[in-house]
Amino acid sequence: MSEKVNKPLNIICLATYFKGVDFIRECKSRGNQVVLVTKEKMLGEDWPRESLADLIALPNDADLELFIHLLGLLGRQTQIDRVVALEEFDVITAAQIRDHFGLPGMSSAIARLFRDKGAMGAKAREAGVQVPDFVPLLNYNVIRDFMERVPPPWIIKPRSDVSAIGIRRVNQEGEVWQALDEMDSRERLRERSAHHLLARFVAGEVFHVDSVVSNGRVIFAGVNQYGRPPMDVAHKGGAYLSHTVTRGSEDEKVLLANNRRLVRTLGLKEGAAHAEFIKGAADGTFYFLEIAARVGGAYISEVLEASSGVNLWREWARIELSDGRIRRITPQRREYAGIVLSLAKQEFPDTSAYDDAEVVYRVKKKHHAGLIVCSPKLARVQELLNNYSLRFAGDFAAVMPPLERAE
């Protein structure tokens, strides 16, 4: 497939956390200049310095005003062509910078839909995707009506945080009012109850769809299933598992269709998306949980690359550089892959004893043990993941309390 070659671009990448190495390298390999703006706490990470024109660390508490000031200084010497958020927590900042300087890419109005669980839930309903009933933790009468109408248990979750951060399950009306009182006593205003939702709890299996989007169309997507819901892992500990779903299955078809509708309705034009759904144990219906305008974390990109040969970061970079002119991505293979990942009590855990031929990737991160396996057969992937998760419990597993906030 031919691609029109654009003039070299000057790209500013924002990364509050260590993400996007392959994106940076792909941009550099195609002759572009990349400046990475991160936070002081991340300066020592293994960034691809050979592919960076500059690496700038702002204070950990840097606000939008400081980001805009920095880019104003950078823009005096070099024309800025793109601002890209490599991390979830930079999506809004990058969009506001684009708005301020009139740069191409996602606006702050669209970005907000990918950061606010209330807004994205409303758009998902508009797209015809099932969403567990929810209300903002705002008006007491509305909250009372919700609890009378929707039987417990319920979930209280922040509108803007990711994954299972800050989520709690409540089983009685009194717990809800107690939670409101506790949140409204917090020092940070953005952590108080008005920044949260109360939602119906749906028991079931959790899936995720990871895709890249060009010119408003999903041109590649992979569907995976978590071994355990991420909230269970966050609150109870144990290994995180995820693997490819059965290719061509009805589950895969429904989730791919739901993902396409979501991306179109939320207005993502170019980039990557990570969407999560739960298949209700009681009715078999897929319910929307959340979507983010980013590559999924927890080595999801590496799992998809193992099963398909498609690297989400590199494809996103190609799309960003082509102004959305890439129309199709053809996977190199259609195999099955999965990951087992756990916190580890060792600083650098040794996984060499896990020596099956299907192991294709070993996680190298402090206090983490992780393996990615790949096979032409899903049953073999599931067998290895289940076996490894049991062995990890004895060899490596460590547990931390669930996060109340990203920091």
Tokens 């040969």 correspond to: 309
pLDDT tens column, 174-222 = 999 999 999 999 999 989 999 999 999 999 999 999 999 999 999 999 9
pLDDT tens column, 91-130 = 999 999 999 999 999 999 999 999 999 999 999 999 999 9
Tokens 């572009």 correspond to: 32
Residue 2 has pLDDT above 50, yes or no: no
CATH fold of 10-112:
Rossmann fold (3.40.50)
pLDDT for the residue numbered 398:
74
Task: Kindly state the helix (H) or strand (E) to which residue 23 belongs, with its residue range.
Answer: helix 21-29
Of 316, 303, 293, nearest in space to 30 by CA? 316
The whole-number average pLDDT for the span 80-90 is 96
pLDDT for the residue numbered 327:
86
| 10-112 and 133-200 agree in CATH topology | no
List Cβ neighbours of 25 (8 Å cut-off, separation of 6 or more).
48, 51, 314
Q: What residue type is assigned to position 141 of the chain?
A: N
Instruction: Please give the full DSSP string across 301-323, using - where no structure is assigned.
Output: HHHHHHHHS--HHHHHHHHHHHT
Q: Let me know how long the chain is.
A: 407
Tokens linked to 284: 């078999």
Could you give the CA distance from residue 181 to residue 192 in angstroms, rounded to a whole number?
9
Of 34, 70, 71, 74, nearest in space to 50 by CA? 34
- Of all residues in the chain, the percent with pLDDT exceeding 90 is 88
pLDDT for the residue numbered 6:
62
pLDDT band at residue 231 using 50, 70 and 90 as cut-offs: low
Residue 237 has pLDDT above 80, yes or no: no
pLDDT for the residue numbered 124:
97
What is the residue extent of each domain of the chain? 10-112, 133-200, 204-395
pLDDT for the residue numbered 403:
52
Query: Is 377 exposed, middle or buried, given 0-12, 13-18 or 19+ CB atoms closer than 10 A?
Result: exposed
The whole-number average pLDDT for the span 386-392 is 95
pLDDT band at residue 152 using 50, 70 and 90 as cut-offs: very high
Query: Is 222 exposed, middle or buried, given 0-12, 13-18 or 19+ CB atoms closer than 10 A?
Result: buried
Q: What burial letters (b/e) apply to 1-30, b meaning 16+ CB within 10 Å?
A: eeeeeeeebbbbbbbbbbbbbbbbbbbbeb
CATH fold of 133-200:
Dna Ligase; domain 1 (3.30.1490)
The whole-number average pLDDT for the span 229-248 is 79
Strands 368-375, 240-244: pairing is unpaired
- φ and ψ at residue 254, rounded to 5 degrees: -65, -45
Q: Are 56 and 38 in contact (CB under 8 A)?
A: yes
Give the helix ranges, DSSP H, for 288-406. Answer: 300-308, 312-322, 378-395
Q: What burial letters (b/e) apply to 169-182, b meaning 16+ CB within 10 Å?
A: ebeeeebbeebbee
pLDDT band at residue 238 using 50, 70 and 90 as cut-offs: confident
Distance of CA 89 to the CA centre of its chain: 10
pLDDT band at residue 1 using 50, 70 and 90 as cut-offs: very low
pLDDT band at residue 7 using 50, 70 and 90 as cut-offs: confident
Q: Are 250 and 351 in contact (CB under 8 A)?
A: no
Tokens 């703006």 correspond to: 37
Instruction: Please give the full DSSP string across 320-389, using - where no structure is assigned.
Output: HHHTT-------S---EEEEEEEEBSSSS---TT---TTEEEE--BTTEEEEEEEES-HHHHHHHHHHHH
pLDDT tens column, 274-332 = 999 999 999 999 999 999 999 999 999 999 999 999 999 999 999 999 876 888 999 99
What residues pair up with 332 in beta bridges, in sequence order? Answer: none
Give 204-395's CATH code, choosing from 3.30.470.20, 3.40.50.720, 3.30.750.210, 3.30.830.10.
3.30.470.20
The whole-number average pLDDT for the span 218-237 is 80
Query: Is 248 exposed, middle or buried, given 0-12, 13-18 or 19+ CB atoms closer than 10 A?
Result: exposed
Tokens 């305008």 correspond to: 293
> Range with the lowest mean pLDDT among 23-32, 158-167, 244-253?
158-167
The whole-number average pLDDT for the span 80-86 is 97
The whole-number average pLDDT for the span 138-159 is 97
- Mean of per-residue pLDDT scores for the chain: 93
pLDDT band at residue 397 using 50, 70 and 90 as cut-offs: confident
pLDDT tens column, 325-381 = 888 999 999 999 999 999 999 999 999 999 999 999 999 999 999 999 999 999 999
Q: What residue type is assigned to position 144 of the chain?
A: R
